[in-house]
Structure 1
Amino acid sequence: MKPRDTIELLLLAAIWGASFLFLRMGAAEFGPFALAGLRVLGASLFLLPLLWRRGEWAALRQHWRAIAVVGIVNSAIPFLCFSYAALAITGGLSSIFNATTPLWGVVFAWWWLRDRPDVNKLAGLAIGFAGVLWLAWDKASFKPDASGASSGLAVLACLVATMMYGLAASMTKRWLTGVPAMALATGSQLSAAVVLMPLMLWHWPATMPGARSWGAVAALALVCTGVAYVLFFRLIANIGAGNALSVTFLIPGFAIAWGGLFLGETVNATMIGACVVVLVGTSLVTGVWKPTPWWGANRKPS
C-alpha cells in the first residue's frame, strides 16, 4: 500500500471505531429506533449529492430492488441491533463482536454460494466462534438494567448484526456484482431509511435529547456512515477488497481507546483474551494469516 492508503485505512478504522462511542452517547436519550433511523437518514442526505455528481443514478434505478433488500439487511437491521446493544454493553465489547463479520461471511458463502472453505478457513471459523462463545458466556445475563436492556440480549443483538453483514456480503456478490459502489452505498442507506423512519417516528423520545446526543447522531450519520463509505470504497478501488477488509482488525483497538478516553469504559482480561482469539480466527478466515498445514510442513517437493 502507498503511504496515503495506509493513512486512509487507519483513518477509516478510527472513524468506525468511534461509531461505537457515538452509539453509546446517543442511545440512552434517543433510543435504538430513533438513533438508527436518524443515522441512515442523515447518511442518505450526505450521499445523494455525491451519487448525482458521479452520474450513477441510472445504476441505482436499474438495480433498486436488490439494493433495497441489501440495504435492509446490511444497514437497517445491523444499525438497529448495535443501537440497542449500546444501551447495555460497552462500545469496545460491541466492536469485538463486530470483528466476527468475516466469519459469518464465510458461513453464508459456504451455505448459499457453495464456496467451500479450505482448511485454514475452517480452523478460523472454529477458533473465531470459540472466542465469541467465551466472550458471550462472560456476559450472559438477561436481567434488564435501568435502561430496560440486558447484556445478554445486547450480545445477541451484536451477533444478529454481524450475521446480517455476512449475509449481505453474499447477497451483494450474487445479485450486485459490477454495480457502482456509490449507487450501492446510497441506495442501501435510502432503503434502510424508508424502513426505519416509521419506527423512528413511532418511538420518538418523549423528551427532546440534548445537544450532546444530537452531536453524536450527526457524527454517526455524516462521518461514521457517509464519509466512511466513501473512504471504504475508495480503498477497495486502490488496494483491493482483501486489503481494505483488514480494517476489521483495527476497529476494536480504536473503539476501546475512544470508549476509555471519553466515557471511562474499562477492559478486563476476558475481553482482551477473547478479542485475541476472535482476531486470530478472523485472520485465518480472511487469509491475512496463512500458516502451512502441519501435514505438509516437512513434505519435500517431488
Structure 2
Amino acid sequence: MSGTASPQAARDWATPLELLGLGMVWGASFLFMRIAVPEFGAYALVEVRLALGALVLMPFLWRARAQFPAWRWRWLAPIGLINSALPFVLFAWAAERAPAAIGAICNAMTVLFAALVGFLFFGERIGPRRALALLIGFSGVVVLATAKVSGLAIGPAVVAGTVAALLYGVGANLVRRHMGGLPPAAAAAATLGCATLWMLPLAWSHWPRQPPSASSWASAIALGVLCTGLAFLVFYRLIGRVGPSRAATVTYLIPLFGALFAWAALGEPVTVQMLVAGGLILGSVAVSQR
C-alpha cells in the first residue's frame, strides 16, 4: 500500500475546507462593509470593491480575450449592473443602518430567488418542495423585517438586503443563459469591470470629503481583493469540481460567520428574532436544495 493520498482523496478533503473558507470570507464581507461604509459611503465603497475585484481577475480575462467578441458585451454589461453593482450598493446601504448579520441572513435568500425567477420568467419547474421553501423563506424575511435591534427598526435594511438577493437571483439566471461556455473567472472579471464603470459617476460625485481612516481602507481593500476577486476564484473552482448545487451550500455558512464576526469584532447583538428569521430562511434553503 502506498502512503501517498490519491488525487480523489485530496479533492474530497479540499472541498469542505474550501466551502468553510469561502463561507468565512463571504461572512466577513458584511463585517468589512459595516466598518468601511460609514466613512466611504455606499457608492464609493462599492466602487473600490468592484475595481479591486476586477483587477484581481483581469489576467484571466486577458488570457481569454479572444472569447469575448463585441457582441458578448451587450449581455456582460447589464449582468454586471444586475449581478454586482446594484446588489453591492444595496448591501452596503443596509450595512449603514443595521447589524452585519442582517445582510448576511438576507443574502441566503439568493438560492430561493434564483429558483423563483427561473420559474416566472424562464419556464423552469419549481415543484411543490421549492414552493414550500419559498413560503418558509419569505416568512423568515417578514420576521426579520419586523425585528428591532437595540431599539431600532431594521425594516428598511431588510428590504434592501432582500432586493439585493433578488437581483442576485436574476443575475444567476442571466449568467446561466448568456455566459455559457465562457471561462468563469474571465467572465467574472468582465462583469465586475462593467459594474465598475456603471458605478464610476456615482462614486465620483459621492467620494468622501474627509479621507477615510486606515481601518476603513483596510476593510475596503479586503472587501475587494479577498471577498470579491479571490473568493470568486475559489467559488468557480468549486463549481467546476462539485457542481453548482453543492457549491451553493456555502449559503448556509455565510449568515453564521457574518453574525459571529460582527459579534466578536463589533459587539453587535444577535437577537431571538434574528435567530428565528435566520433559522426559517436557512431551513427553506435546505428544503429547496435537498
2:30 equivalent to 1:20: yes
> How many corresponding residue pairs?
278
CA contact (8 A) 2:84 2:195 kept: yes
Residue 258 of structure 2 aligns with which residue? 255
Residue 48 of structure 2 aligns with which residue? 38
2:173 equivalent to 1:163: no
2:59 equivalent to 1:49: yes
Residue 67 of structure 2 aligns with which residue? 59
Residue 3 of structure 2 aligns with which residue? none
2:227 equivalent to 1:219: no
Measure, in 1, the Cα distance between the counterparts of 2:258 and 2:73.
33
Q: Percent identity?
A: 36
Q: 1:123-152: CA deviations, max 9, x gaps?
A: 111111111111112259xx9x9xxxx733
Measure, in 2, the Cα distance between the counterparts of 1:58 and 1:251.
36
Unaligned runs of 5+ in 2: 1-10
**Equivalent residue for 1:93, pick from 90, 102, 107:** 102
Residue 3 of structure 1 deviates from its aligned partner by 0.6
Residue 50 of structure 1 deviates from its aligned partner by 3.3
2:207 equivalent to 1:204: yes
SS at match of 1:2: helix
CA RMSD of aligned residues (A): 1.6
Alignment of 1:122-141 (within 5 A): 122-139=131-148
Higher helix share: 2
Residue 271 of structure 1 aligns with which residue? 274
Alignment of 1:134-153 (within 5 A): 134-139=143-148, 151-153=154-156
2:248 equivalent to 1:245: yes
Question: With structure 1 as the length reference, what TM-score do the two structures score?
Answer: 0.89
Unaligned runs of 5+ in 1: 289-302
Measure, in 2, the Cα distance between the counterparts of 1:139 and 1:82.
18
CA contact (8 A) 1:39 1:221 kept: yes
Task: Pick which of 121-130 and 177-186 moved more.
Answer: 177-186
2:121 equivalent to 1:118: no
Residue 297 of structure 1 aligns with which residue? none
Measure, in 2, the Cα distance between the counterparts of 1:102 and 1:41.
26
Residue 11 of structure 1 aligns with which residue? 21
Question: With structure 2 as the length reference, what TM-score do the two structures score?
Answer: 0.92
Measure, in 2, the Cα distance between the counterparts of 1:139 and 1:67.
39
Measure, in 2, the Cα distance between the counterparts of 1:211 and 1:135.
33
Measure, in 2, the Cα distance between the counterparts of 1:60 and 1:85.
35
SS at match of 2:69: helix
CA contact (8 A) 1:59 1:183 kept: no
CA contact (8 A) 1:139 1:155 kept: no
Measure, in 1, the Cα distance between the counterparts of 2:205 and 2:211.
14
